[in-house]
Structure 1
Amino acid sequence: MDGSRRTAKRFWRWRKNPLRRRDDIIEAWVVLAVWAVIAVGGTIVGLLTAHAADEVFARQRAERCSVRAVLVTDDVPVDPSRGGTADGTITARVRWTDPDGSVHTDKTSVDTGLTAGSGLTVWTNGRGEVVAEPPTPTEAAVEAGLLATAAALAFAGLAFGAGALARWRLDQKRMAEWGKEWSLVGPQWGHKTG
């Protein structure tokens, strides 16, 4: 099949045709609108999500700071299978002093095999609570990109689903109309099979 016939077949709803119904034109516009919404809306949703994620990660990097802490407990097992996690860490109590001189203690994940008095670095927020290390700019960019892609795909899925529902409704309407027409034309045929 040559290119012009393939194109004509693909865009049959747009051509003048005595068999084309109003619902066929509506369906063509629905398909066009869905793809436009997916292209434009998906891009906008992805960009907004990436921007929002970048702001959150930048705020985390600005609010969180690393401090030197000292392990308080001496009961950190060398064997992580005795209460540890799969990555070889265990929760233990640590103590640190803020730049303003206030002393804090809290629990955090530490490597196994450490003894009391061992120094380590923990990340804290502005309220003196132990928090996770903020993502580096590269990690933040990758995570923002993944979140943006997921948001754009979710939006595209919703738009595609709405379009599929509209097309299904049009198909149901066409089937009902064909059923009515067949009930008028069918009895006029002289012979029946069966």
Structure 2
Amino acid sequence: MRALGGLWRWRRNPLRRTTDLIEAWLALTAVLLVLLAAPLAGIAVGGAAHRALQQSVRDQREARHQVVATVIRRLDRSPLDPDPETSSTRDAHSRVLARWTGPDRTARHGTVMADLRVPRRGDRFIVWTDRHGRIAGRPLDSATATTHAFLAGFGAAAATAGLVEGGRRLIVWRMVLRRYARWDRAWDRAGPDWGRTGTGS
């Protein structure tokens, strides 16, 4: 709205300079680009990210499998584990030695993190493995993928708006520097005679 007001104010103003009109048109162009280009960039990037992430969701669901593991014994806490007295429910995992059978019917065993606060021998819990029974991370879920895609689109839109505004500010800054330089040259020409009798000032 300020851009439109600037254009209207300078429309027939006798004090209008060419640079004033350029600045007003530049502001209007920047507003239109932010309103049009930024959302389009966000939609394009968000859509591409969404398609790629949903494909990752499908691939991971095909490649990873839930299997039931059985606790052999609990392992001591590592020095990097959180303090048990200050740990939250997020930290309620225990490091255990466990055995499981992979999707290819291969018997496996190893150290895993069990979703058990106090694991005992024979306790069962779920782990994610690849096709060969090796421990793998939980696959990405569709909702998380959608959230990441939305954030990517929002970031692209914000970056586009920032680039447009940054470009506008840079151009205006260069114009102001040139204006000051012209003023300095004009003052230098008028300076030696400024205020003297008979110089017409």
Q: TM-score, with normalisation over the residues of structure 2?
A: 0.71
Residues 68 and 119 of structure 1 are in contact (CA less than 8 Å); yes or no, is this contact kept in structure 2?
A: no
Preserved CA contact (<8 Å) 2:19 2:175 = yes
Contact 1:80/1:89 (CA < 8 Å) preserved in 2? no
Q: Which of 42, 48, 56 is matched with 2:52 structurally? A: 56
Contact 1:97 1:104 in 2 (8 A): yes
Shift of 1:169: 1.0
Whole-angstrom CA distance in 2 between matches of 1:162 and 1:150:
18
- Distance apart, 1:172 and its partner CA: 0.8
Q: Quick one: distance in 2 between partners of 1:40 and 1:8? A: 17
* AA of the residue aligned to 1:75: R
Q: 2:113 aligns with which of 109, 113, 127?
A: 109
Say which SS state the counterpart of residue 32 (structure 1) adopts: helix
**TM-score after normalising by structure 1:** 0.73
- Judged with a 3 Å threshold, the aligned counterparts in structure 2 of structure 1 residues 11 and 90 are, in CA distance, closer, same or farther, namely farther
2: CA distance, partners of 1:159 / 1:168: 14
Seq. identity, %? 29
Looking at structure 1, the residues matched to 35 and 114 of structure 2 have their Cα atoms a distance apart, in angstroms, of 46
Kindly state the Cα deviation for residue 141 of structure 1 after the two structures are TM-superposed: 2.7
CA pair 109-13 structure 1, distance change in 2 beyond 3 A = farther
Alignment gaps of 5+ in structure 2: 197-201
Once residues 10 and 148 of structure 1 are traced to their aligned partners in structure 2, the CA distance between those partners, rounded to angstroms, is: 32
Answer with 67-76 or 165-174: which moved more.
67-76
8 Å Cα contact 1:106/1:130 also seen in 2: no
CA deviations on 1:52-71 (whole Å, 9 max, x unpaired) are 33223322321233312314
For 1:17, what is the secondary structure of its paired residue?
Answer: coil
Q: Which residue matches 1:69?
A: 68
Cα distance in 2, alignment partners of residues 56 and 108 from structure 1? 30
